[in-house]
Amino acid sequence: MRLFIAEKKGLGEVIAQALGNGVNRGGYIECGEDVVTWGSGHLLELVSPEQHNPAYAKWNEADLPMKLRPHRYQPIERTASQFRTVVGLIERASEIVHAGDPDAEGQLLIDEILTYTDCNKPVKRVLINDLNTEKARQALTRLRDNSEFYGLSQSALARSIADQLYGLNMTRGYTLAARKKGMQGMLSVGRVQTVILGLIVHRYEAFKNHAAAFYYAVSAGFTMNGIDLTRCDGGEIPARLIVPEDAPTDDKNRITDKSYADNIVSMAQSQPVTVTLAQTDDKTTPAPLPFSLLDLQVQMSREHGISADKTLAVTQSLRDNFKAITYNRSDCRYLSTEQFDDAPQTLAAVSSALKGHFPADVLASLDSSRKNRAFNDEKVSAHTAIIPTGTEPDTARMSREELTVYTAIATQYLCQFLPEKAWKQATVRFSVAGYDFVSNARKTILPGWTELLKEQDEAENSDEISAGDDAGNNLFSILTALSVNDGGTCKTVTIKTEKTKPLPLYTEATLLRDLQRVAKYVKNPRIKALLVNRDKNTEGENGGIGTPATRAGMLEILQKRDYFTIEKKKLVPTELGISFINSLPAIATEPDMTALWHEQQQQIEKGEMTCEAFLDELEIFIEEQLKNVDVSSLSVKTSPPKKNTENSQRERLDAPCPSCGKRIIATPKTYSCTGCNFKIWSTLAGKTLTKNQVETIITKGKSSEIKGFISTKTGKSFSAFVRLDDKATGKVAFEFPPRKS
Convert 680-704 to b/e letters by CB count within 10 Å (16 or more is b).
bbbbbbbbebeeebbbbbbeeeebe
Long-range contacts of the stretch 562-570 (C-beta < 8 A, 24+): 562/668, 563/197, 563/200, 564/197, 564/200, 565/669, 565/683, 566/508, 567/686, 567/712, 568/712, 569/305, 569/507, 569/508, 570/504, 570/505, 570/506, 570/507, 570/712
Cβ distance 232 to 474 under 8 Å?
yes
Convert 654-673 to b/e letters by CB count within 10 Å (16 or more is b).
ebebbbeeebbbbeeebbbb
Name, in order, each residue with C-beta under 8 angstroms of 690's C-beta and a sequence gap of 6 or more: none
Distances (CA, A) of 32 to 22, 132, 141, 494, 567: 7, 21, 17, 81, 59
- Give me the amino acid identity at 329: R
Counts for the chain of helices (H) and strands (E), in that order: 23, 27
Question: On the CB side of 417, how many CA atoms lie within 13 Å of its CA?
Answer: 23
- Give me the amino acid identity at 594: T
Active-site residue, selected from the candidate residues 28, 174, 327, 435 = 327
327 catalytic per annotation: yes
Distance between CA atoms of residues 673 and 407, nearest Å: 42
Distance between CA atoms of residues 251 and 255, nearest Å: 10
Distances (CA, A) of 256 to 265, 268, 492: 15, 19, 21
Give the relative orientation of helices 293-304 and 548-560 as an angle to the nearest 10 degrees.
50
Residues involved in catalysis:
327
